[in-house]
Structure 1
Amino acid sequence: MAASFGTARKWSLGCSPVIQRLTLSILLLTTLFLTLSSLASREIVTSFTAGRKLSRTTPIPVYPFPEASHLIIVACHAIWHGYAGEHPGESATEWNLKPFQQDQQITFINHIQLGLNAAIVDEESLLVFSGGQTSRKSGPISEAQSYYNLANARKMIETDSNVSLRVTTEEFAKDSFENLLFSICRFHEFTGQYPDRITFVTHEFKRERIQGLHRAAIRFPLHKFRLIGRDAPGEDSPTGEEYLNALEPFTRDPYGCFDETLVSKRKSRNPFLRHDSYFDSCPELRGLLAFCSQAGAFYLGDLPWDNHTASQLPATA
């Protein structure tokens, strides 16, 4: 730039004062523009790399349902492929069922209805179907989206009703702990806040695992948490497989981050290598989302629901 000024000065010696002033003005304005452009670019890059904060030009999100306070979770367990007949979802051939899930499709439909029933009676509730793209055979469709599709196919959700505006999906969870934690994050994405109350719809035999272990691991107050359980016929108590494959591993590893059984299960249930964005969309939960303790200890950092009660904090293991 110094060379440019020198060249301009030599050239301007033979020019009139007006042209000289005009030339210098143009050079100064060009220099100012280039400097400001460089600073602005540097600021945008810094803003993006330092936590991906909103830039000045990014519009403030408009949350679809900011008045919600009650999160209703329907934990999904399989993928419905679709059907055009009179009774969608009632045949096992319409589902991708694991061997131990045979003939449980009616139970899954019941879970959908139980979630909708809870949403109907509380206009401040948000219903979240939770479950990821867990089956390569079924293709890149999530359990959650298939439940939502089934609810519509069976006309369980009236399109002109208030409830239809209060239903969404969470499409990354790979086990029951993620059903709970990720649905809380999805609630935050949809409402701009965290739930005051949680209702969790699942099998009754999973009550000890979800209400006892998962809820305690995220330190959500027990008196603000409700589990609605509905088992398939003959599943009225925890089985040996439930103890071996879920209760015992989650007791050792509350967050499912190092136990071989839990980690391998999550890997096998993510055949399309999907990655959630909750670390960015739920900054208040980053510590919890990233937490892992091989000593079985609970996360003790700040959480949005800490002010609900001071007496619900669990002791460390």
Structure 2
Amino acid sequence: MFDDFDFSALDSPEYKEDAVREDLIAPLIRKLGYKASGPVRAQRSKNLVHPFVMIGSKKNQINIVPDYTLYVNDQPLAIIEAKGPREEIVRSHHVEQAYSYAIHPEVRTDTYALCNGRELVVYSVSQWNPILHVSLSNIDKHWSDVEEALHPKFLSNPELKGFMPDFGLAMLKVGIKPGTLQIMILHHLQSVMRAEDDLYVVNTTTNAGDLECMVSLDMSASHYQQLLDKLPEEVAVPIAMAMKRAPYQMPLDGKIMLSCAGTLSEVIDGEYEQFVPIVVSEITEVIYDPTVQIKPYDPKKV
């Protein structure tokens, strides 16, 4: 992202926080999707009408005006404060001031961040340690973490944090066309749900390059029944019962392994994200192994 920026400029005593704001923070928030106006916007230098906040019985004067307040639909969701390259932005009075601003009744954001040109540190008012601490010179390698901390989609829908990228969508983005045949060999199934009378959705994971992705496998009722028929009765019956009552879903914990073929579908708009399922056309193998133990997905290790 900052390939054209010479980070040795930060060593100059003449390089101040206004330069950090314009050279580094401004392009960062533009890449995150914030604009000067509109429903997703970044407001410069929001002043407080009453620059004090009560913490217990102590009245704290707020001595900063954050460089950017990030809004979605006129709701402030985060602030970003620029500091000079020689300023400390972890457990310092700058962090204390940013926290006081974030919890002010005129703002009330859960997320606040500081950037000194060398590092970007993001905090949550509900956690002690930073939720993100990255070097700007290495930010491309951690861009998914930056997005999860500050992207408008995640700030306005915190429940999306930790979602795996969708495999089908990744395939379309690299030029694979809808309708292309996909072969899945012994993938560990994570869960199954009944979406409609003739549509069952099974989830598994796979890699797209170095990126671990979630795969949605769409099955007709007949293919779903083929899956059940290949399982031991003591496994198949609880699944079948779960599909007959709300919430019409059941975790599978990777103990069922499936080989199948299917075609890449079109983009589907979900409640929070877009995804591209694989429409199953053939089930070739099903193995049940009760000894399988899979680790929960950790987005920080992807």
Whether these two folds match at TM > 0.5 is: no
Q: Which has the bigger relative contact order, CA under 8 A and spacing at least 6?
A: 1
Larger Rg: 1
TM-score under structure 1 normalisation?
0.22
Flag the structure with higher helix content: 1
Flag the structure with higher strand content: 2
